Amino acid sequence: MANVATLTPSSDIGTIRQTRAAWLLVSPAIALMAVFVLAPLAAVVFLGFTDFELGYSNYRFVGYENYAELMTDRTFRQSLRNTAVYAAIVAPASLFLGLAIALLIESESIGRAFFRTAYFLPVASLLVAMATVWQYLLHPSIGPVNALLGLAGLPTPNWLGSADSVLVSLAIIGIWQSAGFNMVLFLAGLTAIPRDLYAAAEVDGAKSPLDRFLLVTWPMLGPTTLFVATISVINAVKVFETVKTLTEGGPNKASEVLLFTIYQEGFVYLRVGYASAMTVVFLAVLVVMMFVQYRLLDREVHYT
């Protein structure tokens, strides 16, 4: 009993020391998160209830007036609709295209490193510079895309200058940009699949590549697919650079998206309070989308 009595305080002291060491190690990360994440988020939420404008030192609390104005703001509703359409096109298309490219690269042993690099280049490239290249490619009169369509006798639309085609054109650029990143993630998931499973599936009668994909590859890629789907939706909803560089939200606000509207209100019209309210709604929509996506997809994912 004496030994137990003497051991207990020392073990408690050891636990306290470990706890202090743990807090000491994580304190820099907590401080950085508080300064660069929590504090700006709190400031955005606070400013959303004010009429603060850049250049003016005085502001007043307006309660929910900014949010009430959002409900009747045609530009906000249009940008919300455009963002939803853009994400609905880019997220699934870039996911399946990235998976297809990863499967093709994984099945080939010759030139694998070259093709990985080639398809990943859009991710590593400066998007503003590449947007200028796309502006030339999709130019209605001198662009190579319309030149090829004209040679084939097909219509040559004004890709970035028509309200009917501008959002689809931006979505094509978004797919081109995101597919390489998704490819890398799927390649990592394919590498982690044990080769023995394919041999076992072939013994069980899965002779064709399609059978092996449906029975082994696709189920084993469940966690990777969930992660890629989440990242794809987030990146699609955050589209800004291509809109700012190529269309400025036009024509007739047909390509105006949420982040561009927030930028316009906050840094062009200087209505920081109203832009902050938009940001809060944007973050709320994003969180709800991620929650619904995880609830729907996580049921089909089995982690091993």
Reported as a single tens digit per residue, the pLDDT across 34-53 is: 999 899 999 999 999 999 98
The predicted model gives 132-137 an average pLDDT of 90
pLDDT value for 295? 74
- 61 has which bridge partners? 50
Name, in order, each residue with C-beta under 8 angstroms of 266's C-beta and a sequence gap of 6 or more: 54, 272, 275, 276
CA 73-74-76 angle, 5° bins: 70
Using pLDDT thresholds of 50, 70 and 90, give the confidence band for residue 217. confident
Going by the DSSP 8-state scheme, the letter that residue 244 receives in this structure is I
Distances (CA, A) of 15 to 20, 41, 73, 83: 9, 35, 57, 51
Length of the chain: 304
The predicted model gives 233-260 an average pLDDT of 91
Asked if the model's pLDDT at residue 86 lies above 80, the reply is yes
CB crowding 230-266: b at 16 or more within 10 Å, else e: bbbbebbbebebbbbbbbebeeebbbbbbbbbbbbbb
pLDDT value for 107? 77
The number of beta carbons lying within 10 Å of the beta carbon of residue 50 is: 19
Asked if the model's pLDDT at residue 255 lies above 90, the reply is yes
CA separation for the pair 124, 178 (Å, rounded): 11
CA separation for the pair 232, 292 (Å, rounded): 15
The predicted model gives 149-161 an average pLDDT of 90
What residues does each domain of the chain span? 1-47, 67-300
Using pLDDT thresholds of 50, 70 and 90, give the confidence band for residue 1. very low
Distances (CA, A) of 204 to 200, 212, 240: 6, 10, 49
CATH code of 67-300, in short, is 1.10.3720.10
Handedness of CA 201, 203, 204, 207 (dihedral sign): positive
CA separation for the pair 228, 94 (Å, rounded): 10
pLDDT value for 202? 80
pLDDT value for 216? 86
High-pLDDT (> 90) share of the chain, %: 46
The predicted model gives 73-93 an average pLDDT of 94
Using pLDDT thresholds of 50, 70 and 90, give the confidence band for residue 122. confident
Centroid of chain to Cα 231: 4
pLDDT value for 169? 94
Phi, psi of 50 (to 5 degrees): -125, 170
Using pLDDT thresholds of 50, 70 and 90, give the confidence band for residue 129. confident
Asked if the model's pLDDT at residue 8 lies above 80, the reply is no
Could you check whether the bond before residue 28 is cis, i.e. omega within 30 degrees of 0?
no
Residues 75, 253 contacting (CB under 8 angstroms):
yes
Average pLDDT of every residue of the chain: 86
State both tokens at 229.
Answer: 């789907």
Helix, strand or coil, per DSSP, at residue 247? helix
High-pLDDT (> 70) share of the chain, %: 93
The predicted model gives 42-68 an average pLDDT of 89
- Helices marked H in the chain: 2-33, 39-47, 65-72, 74-107, 112-124, 127-137, 144-151, 166-191, 195-203, 209-212, 218-220, 222-237, 241-242, 258-263, 272-297
State both tokens at 31.
Answer: 């401080």
Going by the DSSP 8-state scheme, the letter that residue 44 receives in this structure is H
